[in-house]
Chains A and B, each alone.
Chain A
Amino acid sequence: MPPELAESTAPSHGARVAALWGRLHGFGPVAGLVLLCIAGTLLNGEFATVDNALNVLTRTAFIGIIAVGMCFVIISGGIDLSVGSMAALIAGCMILLMNKLAQTIGSPVLVIALGMVLSLGLGAVFGLIHGLLISKGRIEPFIVTLGTLGIFRAYLTYFADGGAITLDNALADAYSPVYYGSLLGVPFPVWVFAVVALAGGFILNRTAYGRYVQAIGSNEQVARYAAVAVDKVKVLTYMLLGLCVGIATLLYVPRLGSASPTTGLLWELEAIAAVIVGGTALKGGAGSVTGTVVGAILLSVISNILNLTSIISVYLNAAVQGFVIIIVAFLQRGRR
């Protein structure tokens, strides 16, 4: 057992340096974000303005909210590839329902409220289906959600008849403040993002459910033997992600007022990237909501800087993000 002995005797120089280094690792994403912001400020004076900061946060909100849910799924040892398609299908269904209801119900607010309920409900139901197939059906999460990735998007394309599903103008006007409006000078999507992130962090760290999610990701057998209701926790985790997708979608719909086969394309990869950049291990067990939020912001700051400066072509945006993901993964290797 000697290597463990090294861990157990803390008060020595080498161990203290190691502990400090370990803690610094945890701040990696934050440090990266700070460095990026400094670079952005030096490159373009407009970067460090409140307007730009809020703009970046608003754009991050969709992916960020989904990433918080994804963080739970990945920590539990799972994955969900379908979130982009799910968002698109939910957006389509939501718009179809609201257009239909608007013909019979006079109040646009009520119609929109019902649309939002549908969005959350569909998200939860899709999550429930994923969770049941994965836990009770014992199919790998990768396979289940690879399947639904195709199913969700195909149904949206079918409903939209290959084109776009568009929200009625009157409704779109009534709905637009949800995306474009702000409270105390901060846009609504940013508020929602903040609430989801805080709630996520609280649930993960301060509830029994959150502890179970981590335990299952660390070693599912141990959790099962320790009387943890593993299947129930897994189903709840996918439902939580579904709800996050629902929330992101109800914020997204007023932005463009339509859903098309390209809606939410590659969101799943952006959300997974945010989680991983935030220091969560892809194999599960350990991770943090804070890291995920920082990861999501970091990725959108990159594209923001590329937009504001002309050093690197915006066409290379995805490439720069790709390099960052690989560099972060390189820096975090062997931490566990």
Chain B
Amino acid sequence: MSLSVEFRDITRSFGPVQVLHGVSFALAPGKVVGLLGENGAGKSTLMKILAGYLEPTSGEIVVDGQPRHFRDSRAAEAAGIVLIHQEFNLAEDLTIAQNIFLGHEKLRGWLLDDDAMRQATREVLRQVGLDADPDTRVRQLIVAEKQLVEIAKALARKARLLVMDEPTATLTPGETQRLFALMAQLKAEGVTLVYISHKLDEVEKVTDEVIVMRDGRFVARQPTASLTRHAMANLMVGRELSDLFPPKDPVPEGAPLLQVRGFTVPGWAQDVSFEVRAGEILGFAGLVGAGRTELFEGLMGLRPHSAGIVQVDGREVHLRNSREAANEGITYLSEDRKGKGLLVDFGLRENLTLMNLRAYARPVLSPAREQEALEGAVRSFGIRTGDTRQRASALSGGNQQKLALAKVLQPQPRVVVLDEPTRGVDVGAKRDIYFLIQRLAREGQAVIVISSELVELIGLCHRVAVMRGGQLTATVHDEHLSEEELIAHATGTR
């Protein structure tokens, strides 16, 4: 039996800031509902209230006709409502089975019933299609697998309403397809699904109905079939969106700026060769686990590599750490913004200048010159911030990403590697970042973009290299660039 949920005039404030202004709507039971809105529109807050992580300032939630008040997530889970977070809620050092039953352990008398939990875990892992031993530690899983464990955890809690916040942000096309199949199966079993995503093509594909929020208010509710992607984007932004991608410049001429031959990162990438010219945008496509991130971490000296020749401007270089890479004019934007990209507890200024702090120290640091650089970056990168002296954690996801970009561009690299530059970023900020990438290429930098969003690679790049299982399987040009072509190479069906 599906769960029917209705929000009635929900408001929520954080201190002086009101983020939800009386939101009222009902979730159609047994349907897949897409919840759309830009970063800061209040989607996540509303869903956290539904799942018991936050309390509303006023208003009520009606579940199956009864006004309910969830004091914590356990209470919501007991009612069958489970939220899968954008950032995972898994204890890295526990096993998959221990995580799935965390807080709900099966007992036999006073003792843990490990066998029963393992058995039940195997069952839910089979449902989500993750082929892993229940005794594997979560730390050893890749991001996509952790995502599946989160979903398996929700299944084990017998969810009747499942909220997924950006579930495909870290998944590759193949894994995304598997997730969609799983969602269809859950829907057939009567589970109501709320699907939050910035990827409108996916929303179009999997949802029955779309609810749009903007600035903490309910804006629209439409059957998905009646909306185009463009119409969805316009509803989210509240204005007409011009083209998402900048027009492509012609492929630059000249000798390669960065040339990589036979590069091997043990366990991740074998014998990879590619080259990129100044002014060129080279994409890297592939499934999660194809070794793209690891290849470039190896290239930057952040991981050990065993073989290969790297040439910058025809001169062979040996990069043993990211400092030497930066000295050769190569910088890397990590896909993991919070873990490897930004010092979230630090100010914007300290984050911006971290990579080339020497330029601001002669030998005494000059906070005034750093502040000047920050104000310059805020203008040229369009970082939206009320106060430039706040912490990085106070910025929204999109603005954090712009700051992280500004940071890796501070040393004025000649080659810049951007790993998932638009992950978890709303449509408006995405467009800003695309235009920024084009500006970099026009200024003569060689830009490498690693992305799981094929549309983005196709819209932005001159050439796209495809990796599969640690090998570079194809490089696709111009008129051959299409989603079908890239997926075919990435999955090995061609």
Q: Which residues of A contact B (CB under 8 A)?
A: 1-10, 12-15, 18, 205-208, 210-212, 214-215, 218-219, 221-229, 285-286, 336
Contact = CB atoms under 8 A, between A and B. Distances in A.
B365 interface: yes
B343 A219 contact: yes
B340 A222 contact: yes
Contact of B394 (A7, A208, A210): A7
A8 B322 contact: no
B296 to A, nearest CB: 11
B197 interface: no
B110 interface: no
Given A5-B40, A10-B386, A218 B343 contact: yes
A215 B342 CA distance: 10
A2 B42 contact: yes
B411 A14 contact: no
Contacts of A13: 16
B346 interface: yes
B40 to A, nearest CB: 6
Contact of A208 (B39, B342, B358, B396): B358
Given A6-B16, A211-B365, A285-B345, 12 more contacts: A1-B44, A2-B12, A2-B19, A2-B40, A5-B14, A5-B17, A7-B391, A8-B386, A222-B341, A223-B354, A224-B322, A227-B331
Q: DSSP class of B's interface residues: helix, strand, loop or mixed?
A: mixed
B386 A6 contact: no
Interface of B: 12, 14-17, 19, 39-40, 42, 44-45, 302, 321-323, 325-326, 331-332, 334, 339-346, 350, 354-355, 357-358, 360-361, 363-365, 385-387, 390-391, 393-397, 407, 411
Contacts of A4: 393-396
Contacts of B323: 227-229
A3 B344 CA distance: 14
The A interface, classified by DSSP as helix, strand, loop or mixed, is helix
Contacts of B322: 224-227
B451 to A, nearest CB: 19
Nearest to B333: A225
A9 B45 contact: no
A13 B16 CA distance: 8
Contacts of A2: 12, 14, 17, 19, 40, 42, 44-45
B386 A215 contact: no
A225 B351 CA distance: 12
Given A206-B364, A207-B361, A6 B385 contact: no
B387 A1 contact: no
A210 B357 CA distance: 11
A336 B387 CA distance: 20
